[in-house]
Chains A and B, each alone.
Chain A
């Protein structure tokens, strides 16, 4: 039997946020950029309870905001959105198909984060491209590639977050 470790999940999210701040700027091509924190949040919070999931999503988002140089608050909202989606998805998942389902959730979370970022920039009066052009040329490929990335690293992430609970006779 497996159970999730909140501490491990928090460490995974923190490391992802750190990588997001240090490595990801080199891996940004046009509108595509790997969203490691969001992917980590989705896979790390999925086995957790609702409250833990929401708090961890917020924690990851705030770290993303603090370590980056983008508009503060967007990462926090994105993290919450990702955690909420992952938490809902975990309620309906079937054993064996978690990875595929959570990869789709990660794609959706990235799309939501991109649109949040777009809206925030627009609200802050900063330059933004045409919404249609950005949705097709930016959000869609970003979500698809990140979903693929999430699928590739998801199994490993789930393995890191889940720990085997000791059997009764081992206690």
Chain B
């Protein structure tokens, strides 16, 4: 039997008022803009979220360690569900590549740690080693939280790397002790990149061949982003530009006389496939990212680099 509801009218009035308040909050939030872009203090609603992130950081760290085995198990289950010989071979190949990459990464990390003992790498100035606290965001975003913030010299829109130069993403909202990182696979992420042949780039050291910076050489240049169709790739690459499967994708750093957000030479990944049709203006380039969001544990923010303006 229904209960008597004496507050039905007041409930409806409250519902209407609170709906308007919610819409007003949404409008204010959007109008506040992205703290990352404004470079000034955030608006009150963004500040509330940043404060909450700061307060929740210890709890998130605890759950991060609790969920690690679960995430590994989920990856294994996902792997087990992939049937077919081809899938199995692909998986084995990926595992081998991952092992090789891990071995190479450890080697690099070892060298890097030795270098750290002597002093930082001259071209980039890194923030302190940051631990990945937790994934954040919703079904439309790919972001993580790290445990460094403004007190460590981190600001919004700074590149985040693993190892020395493998690009992971960029910082967005930064509080005193935490920062959010938008991963390169997030649909809102974009970066100016160039596509260079393997002979011209060493992903371990990030060294670019001098020929790459020569003005008369036409390597493919474009915009790295995750397309709405879901593939991660480079857009706006001219049909006449050179781009082949297996080429390296690195940040370009500059577009004409304009400095871009990232320093040149940050390694993004390898070209997985290149296709083009006559009716299209640009090539369709799919990239296999060098970083894997599930494997991120410790990252580093590049706080400054040689040749940076301002």
Contacts and interface: CB of A to CB of B under 8 A. Distances in A.
Interface of A: 21-23, 25-26, 28, 30-33, 49-55, 58, 61, 65-74, 76-77, 80, 84, 87, 90-92, 117, 120-121, 123-124, 126-130, 138
B22 A52 contact: no
A138 B140 CA distance: 11
A96 to B, nearest CB: 13
Given A76-B25, A77-B23, A91-B2, A50 B7 contact: yes
Q: Which 10 A-B pairs have the closest CB atoms?
A: A50-B11, A73-B26, A72-B29, A76-B22, A73-B25, A127-B187, A51-B7, A26-B67, A25-B135, A77-B22
Contact of A70 (B18, B23, B52, B137): B137
B138 A120 contact: no
A72 B26 contact: yes
B106 to A, nearest CB: 27
Contact of B18 (A21, A52, A54): A54
Contacts of A127: 140, 187-188, 228
A76 B53 contact: no
Interface size class, chain B? 35 or more
B11 A72 contact: no
Interface string B34-66: 000000000001001100110010011001000
Nearest to B59: A22
Given A25-B137, A127-B187, A92 B2 contact: yes
A76 B60 CA distance: 23
A122 B177 CA distance: 31
Given A22-B63, A126-B140, A80 B19 contact: yes
B15 A84 contact: yes
B5 A50 contact: yes
5 contacts: A26-B135, A30-B139, A51-B10, A76-B21, A127-B188
A73 B2 contact: no
Contacts of B137: 25, 69-70
B12 interface: yes
B180 A69 contact: yes
B134 interface: yes
A77 B140 contact: no
B11 A51 contact: yes
B52 A66 contact: yes
A76 B18 contact: yes
A71 B32 CA distance: 11
